[in-house]
Amino acid sequence: MKRVAAEYAPPVAGGRPTSVRQAAVIAEIIRDTTANPAPLGLMGFGITTVLLNLHNAGLIPIGSAILAVGLLGGGLAQIVAGGVEWKKKNTFGTVAFTSYGFFWISLVVLILAPRFGLAEATDRSGMAAYLFVWGLFTVVMFVATLKMNRAIMLVFFALALLFFLLAVADATGSDALTRVAGYEGIACGLGAIYIGAAQILNEVYGRTVLPLGSMD
């Protein structure tokens, strides 16, 4: 991409464009040709969220499958997506994918650290605080989605609700509320998978296969 710009860009003085028109031409030549990273992050987040909340709903035990996907799908895949969003100058995508990627990694560490004698297990009040502050962060991200589309807005609303439900469940010790949060979290994860699928299929087919609900 840089070689093309060097060959076809108009002359510059001192390394800078000599006119506004030349700057516009250079900007047109040096354009972003990288793929959309959002489906990777959305799928990683969605799959991990569904698996963990199958556990919260009492349907499966927490085991190596959930922990592995938490580290690699929810964690690494989202951080990679966030890095590409940074290259695309997408602040929301960078912050969202990178932050939730590290959330999943921190959650796995939180679970495993006591088993390896690295730290004491977090009690219910500590887990409630941990989940509550992530809920506050998600509220901020939710407000940003009000300028995007209805699908992403609903997913972030569901995610904020999930964090607060789990925080209250830990604070009160309510297993019933944890199961309710689990089913709500499954819906949240499926929503993220839907958005990822929509972005892939809509791009491949060149038309709206799965609608996202424009805010216009």
Nearest alpha-carbon partner for 162 in 175, 152, 177: 177
> For position 24, what pLDDT does the model report?
57
pLDDT tens by residue, 171-196: 999 999 999 999 999 999 999 999 99
Res. 9: pLDDT tops 50: no
- Please, which pLDDT band fits residue 215 given cuts at 50, 70 and 90? confident
Q: What is the pLDDT of residue 119?
A: 86
Residue-level pLDDT at 12: 45
Tokens of 6: 């060097």
> How does DSSP classify residue 16?
E
Kindly report the number of other CB atoms within 10 A of residue 204's CB atom.
9
Q: How confident is the model at residue 7 (pLDDT cuts 50, 70, 90)?
A: very low
Does residue 103 surpass a pLDDT of 60? Answer: yes
Determine the Cα–Cα distance for residues 68 and 45; give it in Å rounded to an integer.
13
For residue 98, the model assigns a pLDDT of: 98
The total of other beta-carbon atoms located within 10 Å of residue 186's CB is: 21
pLDDT score of 34: 85
Report pLDDT for 117.
86
Return d(Cα 67, Cα 7) in angstroms, integer: 50
The tokens of 167 are what?
């925080």
Taking only the tens place, the pLDDT of each residue in 22-47 is 655 555 556 777 899 999 999 999 99
Determine the pLDDT at residue 23.
58
Q: Is residue 148 very low, low, confident or very high in pLDDT (cuts 50, 70, 90)?
A: very high
pLDDT single digits (tens) 73-100: 999 999 999 999 999 999 999 999 999 9
* Residue 169: CB atoms within 10 Å: 23
Residue type, position 127, single letter: M
What does the alpha-carbon distance between residue 50 and residue 73 come to, in Å, rounded to a whole number? 12
Q: What is this structure's pTM?
A: 0.84
pLDDT in tens, 61-73: 999 999 999 999 9
Q: Going by C-beta distance under 8 Å and a sequence separation of 6 or more, which residues neighbour residue 124?
A: 170, 171, 173
Greater confidence (4 vs 28) lies with 28
State the pLDDT confidence band at 121, using cuts at 50, 70 and 90: confident
pLDDT of residue 27: 55
Give the closest residue to 158 by CA, choosing from 170, 169, 145, 148: 145
Residue 17 burial (C-beta neighbours within 10 Å; 0-12, 13-18, 19+): middle
Look at residue 1 in the predicted model and tell me its pLDDT: 42
Q: Taking the mean position of all CA atoms in its chain, how far away is CA 96?
A: 5
d(CA 37, CA 46): 14
Which of 137, 143, 192, 124 has its CA nearest to residue 163?
Answer: 137
Q: Read off the tokens for 55.
A: 């556990």
What distances in angstroms separate CA 33 from CA 2, 84, 88, one per listed residue? 12, 12, 10
The DSSP annotation for 34-50 comes to PPP-HHHHHHHHHHHHH
